[in-house]
Amino acid sequence: MYEKSDTVEVCLEAKQISKIYPGTLALDKVDIKLYRGKVNVLIGENGAGKSTLMKIIAGVEQPTEGTILFHGNEVSFTNTREAAEAGIGIIHQELNLFPNLTVAQNIFMAREKTKYGKINEGEHNKQTKDVLQKLEQAIEPDKIVGELRVGQQQIIEIAKTMIQKELSILIMDEPTSSLSNKEVEVLFHLIEELKQQGVAIVYISHRMEEIMRIGDTVTILRDGKLVASERVSEIDLPWIVEKMVGHSGKKIKKNEHKKLGKEILKVENLVLPREDGLALDDVSFSLFEGEILGIYGMLGAGRTEILECLMGRNKDVKGDFFVDGKYAKPKSVPDQISKGFAYIPEDRQKEGLIQSLSVAKNLTISSLKNYTWFFHLLKKQEENAVTETIKNFFIKVSNSDLPIYSLSGGNQQKVVIGKSILTSPKILLLDEPTRGIDISAKADVFEIVNKLADQGIAVILVSSELNEMINVADRVIVLSKGKVTGEFTGSGVNEQSLMRAATGGE
């Protein structure tokens, strides 16, 4: 990739790395070089082996075969602590935080500072404050982590690696999946600083525009094999997509001439208080059978709150709710499920899956009543539902009896979506459904959503991706600071109109 004459320094070289899990060849003789002071991007479809390769470099997993040269010397780390001591930090794809502990306690977990034999909380709080300031976050060190929103929790994960001394490699496995645009900018600024200090950054992401913007080199994996390594300046987006999926990619297609059914949901004058004012301020809208209604807005505009109110998770909401023309104020989550609502939450790791169960059980746990007859479980029906869903969503798993944690991050997301669709809902609420999902699977997810809408299911889609709003939604309502600031259909759904309404018309 780089010529001998280029003055770049290889900081780590992994040679012929293979990793076998029971029944899965996750990596097949992969070579990779990481360059000092560069952003080394790693991409590939869900299940391609990205996280596994990085876990091996960071000492979380051991390779079945292969060698790793770090600054020219062969190393084999048996755990993350050894890798951390050598200067390798990793920000995992999944959040690894203790929700009931404070921010400072999480940041100093397993590397507590002591003074006279006691944990030096003062020092912890001070350093936490410093690092959060650097990340431009006004979060108090004694705040309980579980009370932070997902994006802020992701920032705490980033802060954890920042206090590590003398980093020479920092691995970021999808660090921006829950971050707002502003938070992404702060992170990119930080990455720039780390590059200056000579840190080799490994950056994993499914957001192509990020890769083109901050990447120096790109390595592409497909099905556990190395497909290509190139300098980002030498290539373009179509080239990446072609290498990644083996064809030029699928486009999301909108059904332009569809007929909507009757009004299935109507909400009027929703008001929801929060600490510093109103999360929802007099919100009213309707939803029709077969419609895909987009809700767009900046972070904190009230998008997720609307879905939570509809799902019966927020008891403090005032206003009127009508389902099928009948007054139906949400009482509880089970009550809403019985009325035909299904919800795919933003924080899927925590809320969507039971880690101790198999892929199959996770898929069918919410829809068991569909496979029972007078209290008997109809094994065949259940199996069919599982097989169908795995096929429809291209879930990469060799056997559905495997535990859910053995799936790659993106494939776990697909299970959460498949699971809620199996409940045969009438109203489907999707909160950022394509987060962490690779580009070809994104098109698959929306193809399924379109199909469901064609069958008459009403869908509400919350997404911060403008192109998803434009390419998928039939109608979009825009929120700003809890108020509806715009409603668009047809050609009115475009980047300019949505952005203008989202920023409150400024």
Ligand X SMILES: Nc1ncnc2c1ncn2[C@@H]1O[C@H](COP(=O)(O)OP(=O)(O)OP(=O)(O)O)[C@@H](O)[C@H]1O
Can you give the binding site for Mg ion, defined by CB under 5 A? 51, 93, 408-409
Residue 469: CB minimum distance to ligand X, A: 23
Residue 397 tokens read as 């798993």
- Which entry of ligand X, Mg ion, none binds 485, CB below 5 to 8 A by partner kind? none
Smallest gap from residue 90 Cβ to Mg ion (A): 12
Chosen from Mg ion, ligand X, none, partner binding at 215 (C-beta under 5 to 8 Å by type): none
CB of 414 to ligand X, least distance (A): 9
Q: Which is nearer to ligand X, 355 or 455 (CB)?
A: 355
Return the residues of window 422-481 that contact ligand X according to CB under 6 A. 438
Pairing of strands 65-70, 341-344: unpaired
- By beta-carbon proximity to ligand X, the closer residue of 53 and 298 is 53
Q: Which is nearer to Mg ion, 48 or 478 (CB)?
A: 48
Nearer to ligand X among residue 407 and residue 476 (C-beta): 407
Our finding on whether 24 is near ligand X (CB under 6 A) is yes
- Nearest-approach distance from CB 48 to Mg ion, in angstroms: 8
Residue 49 contact partner, candidates Mg ion, ligand X, none, CB within 5 to 8 A by sort of partner? ligand X
Instruction: State the nearest-atom distance from the C-beta of 77 to ligand X, in Å.
Output: 18
Nearer to Mg ion, 88 or 172 (CB): 172
Stretch that binds ligand X, among 19-27, 211-219, 333-341, 487-495 (CB under 6 A): 19-27
Selected from 11, 12, 17, 26, the binder of ligand X by CB under 6 A is 26
Q: Is 411 in the site for ligand X (CB under 6 A)?
A: yes
Smallest distance, ligand X to C-beta of residue 63, A: 13
Residue nearest to ligand X (CB): 410
200, with CB counted inside 10 A (0-12, 13-18, 19+), is buried
Cα separation, 419 vs 131, in Å, equals: 39
User: In this chain, which of 89, 410, 433, 486 binds ligand X, going by CB under 6 A?
Assistant: 410
User: What would the two tokens of residue 122 be?
Assistant: 């003062």
Count of residues near ligand X by CB under 6 A: 20
CB 461 within 8 A of CB 292: yes
Min CB(353)–Mg ion separation in Å: 15
Name the minimum Å distance from CB 177 to ligand X: 10
| Residues 250/441, Cβ–Cβ less than 8 Å | no
Stretch of 125-133, 354-362, 403-411, 477-485 lying at the interface with ligand X (CB under 6 A): 403-411
For the CB of residue 78, give the shortest distance to ligand X in the complex, in Å: 17
Q: How far is the CB of 135 from ligand X (least distance, A)?
A: 24
The one-letter code for the residue type at 440 is S
Look up residue 371 and give its DSSP letter. Answer: G
Nearest to 226 by CA among 33, 397, 412: 33
Which tokens sit at 216? 């120096």
Q: 24 vs 420, which CB is nearer to ligand X?
A: 24
Considering only the C-alpha atoms of the chain, give the largest distance between any 2 of them, rounded to a whole number of Å.
75
Residues 6+ apart with CB under 8 A from 485: 478, 479, 501, 502, 504, 505
C-alpha to C-alpha distance for 174 and 176, rounded to whole angstroms: 6
According to DSSP, the residues that pair with 376 across neighbouring strands are 373
**Quick check: helix, strand or coil at residue 378?**
coil
Q: Could you tell me the smallest distance in angstroms from the CB atom of residue 81 to Mg ion?
A: 22
28-57: which residues touch ligand X (CB under 6 A)?
44, 46-52
Using CB under 6 A, pick the residue from 40, 93, 125, 463 that binds ligand X: 93
Kindly tell me which of 43 and 107 has the beta carbon lying closer to Mg ion.
43
Query: H or E element: which one contains 458?
Result: strand 458-462
Beta carbon nearer to ligand X, 249 or 319: 249
Q: Tell me whether residue 297 or residue 409 sits nearer to ligand X (CB atom).
A: 409
Which of 250, 481 has the CB closer to ligand X? 250
- Let me know: does 404 contact 351? Beta carbons within 8 Å: no
At 57, the amino acid letter reads: I
- Spell out the long-range contacts of 121-128 with Cβ–Cβ below 8 A and sequence spacing 24 or more: 127/163, 128/103, 128/104, 128/159
Pairwise CA distance, residues 32 & 358, whole Å: 33
Tell me whether residue 33 or residue 222 sits nearer to ligand X (CB atom). 222
Helix axes 409-421, 439-454, angle to 10 degrees: 0
The listed partner (ligand X, Mg ion, none) that binds 21, CB under 5 to 8 Å by sort, is ligand X
Token reading at 242: 């072609």
What residues have CB less than 8 Å from 425, skipping those under 6 apart? 340, 341, 342, 457
Give the residue from 200, 279, 251, 237 showing the smallest Cα distance to 39. Answer: 200
For residue 200, report the phi and psi dihedrals to the nearest 5 degrees. -85, 120
Query: Would you tell me which residues interact with ligand X (CB under 6 A)?
Result: 21, 24, 26, 44, 46-52, 93, 396, 406-411, 438
